[in-house]
């Protein structure tokens, strides 16, 4: 998305179109009112990529970290957010992580929520997450089996295809079309594909 097109207020409404990794981070952030560094980087750069500008990012994270004082936020977190937008330090313009990077580097430890659910969740936990989308059992099994076999991005792509298919059925758009996409390579690409298909 274009820079500045997304506001702090509009993020929750867009989260329906997030991939599982970002839905997980977004819901854990709401639950804990905090995210550890790996999660802040993964979600923060993703949100930057969908068009959340720096000022809105500062508002979004300040509100999300509602248990801390302004002083704690400014001292502990605001710098890193500005840094991600190239406004501090080396002034590099950091880009969102690819799926490959999320899957292959920096695996989540206890208390971390970053990573790729298709790669880092147990089979049971992944199935539970997939069930939340109210996919039929057979489809949950199909996606979970792909992940189990090590085809993480293929599993994520199949999940997207099925979600899009069900959405179209609900909105009566091309109800019979079987959707086949090429493999998702980044959470931001997933978002673009998912959002594009919900617009009338």
* Site residues (vs ligand SF4, CB under 6 A): 19-21, 99, 102, 116-118, 152-153, 156, 184, 187, 190
Q: How far is the CB of 108 from ligand SF4 (least distance, A)?
A: 12
Q: How far is the CB of 20 from ligand SF4 (least distance, A)?
A: 4
Residue 198, exposed/middle/buried by CB under 10 A (0-12, 13-18, 19+)? middle
Q: How far is the CB of 19 from ligand SF4 (least distance, A)?
A: 4
Nearer to ligand SF4, 20 or 58 (CB): 20
DSSP state, 75?
I
Q: For residues 136, 183, 84 and 105, what is the CA-based torsion angle, rounded to 10 degrees? A: 90
Nearer to ligand SF4, 73 or 165 (CB): 165
The answer to whether the CB of 11 falls within 8 A of the CB of 62 is no
Q: How far is the CB of 117 from ligand SF4 (least distance, A)?
A: 6
Closest CA to 184 of 166, 162, 163, 159: 159
Q: How far is the CB of 115 from ligand SF4 (least distance, A)?
A: 8
**Token pair belonging to 17:** 């179109």
Nearer to ligand SF4, 156 or 197 (CB): 156
Nearer to ligand SF4, 42 or 58 (CB): 42
Closest CA to 98 of 57, 36, 49: 49
Nearer to ligand SF4, 50 or 58 (CB): 50
Q: How far is the CB of 187 from ligand SF4 (least distance, A)?
A: 4
The answer to whether the CB of 52 falls within 8 A of the CB of 18 is no
Nearer to ligand SF4, 73 or 152 (CB): 152
Contacts for 200 with CB less than 8 Å, ≥ 6 apart: 171
CA within 13 Å, CB half, 124: 0
Determine the Cα–Cα distance for residues 95 and 60; give it in Å rounded to an integer. Answer: 19
């Amino acid at each position: 998305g274009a820079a500045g097109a997304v506001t702090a207020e509009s993020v929750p409404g867009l989260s329906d179109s997030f991939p599982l990794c970002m839905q997980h981070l977004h819901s854990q952030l709401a639950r804990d009112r905090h995210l550890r560094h790996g999660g802040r980087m993964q979600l923060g750069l993703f949100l930057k990529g969908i068009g959340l500008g720096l000022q809105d990012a500062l508002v979004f994270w300040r509100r999300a970290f509602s248990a801390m004082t302004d002083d704690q936020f400014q001292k502990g977190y605001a710098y890193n957010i500005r840094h991600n937008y190239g406004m501090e330090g080396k002034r590099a313009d950091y880009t969102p992580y690819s799926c490959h990077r999320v899957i292959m580097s920096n695996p989540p430890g206890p208390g971390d929520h970053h990573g790729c659910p298709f790669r880092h969740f147990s089979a049971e936990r992944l199935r539970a997450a997939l069930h939340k989308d109210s996919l039929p059992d057979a489809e949950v099994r199909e996606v979970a089996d792909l992940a189990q076999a090590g085809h993480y991005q293929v599993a994520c792509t199949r999940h997207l295809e099925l979600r899009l298919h069900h959405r179209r059925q609900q909105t009566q758009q091309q109800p019979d079309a079987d959707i086949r996409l090429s493999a998702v390579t980044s959470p931001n690409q997933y978002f673009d594909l998912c959002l594009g298909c919900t617009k009338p």
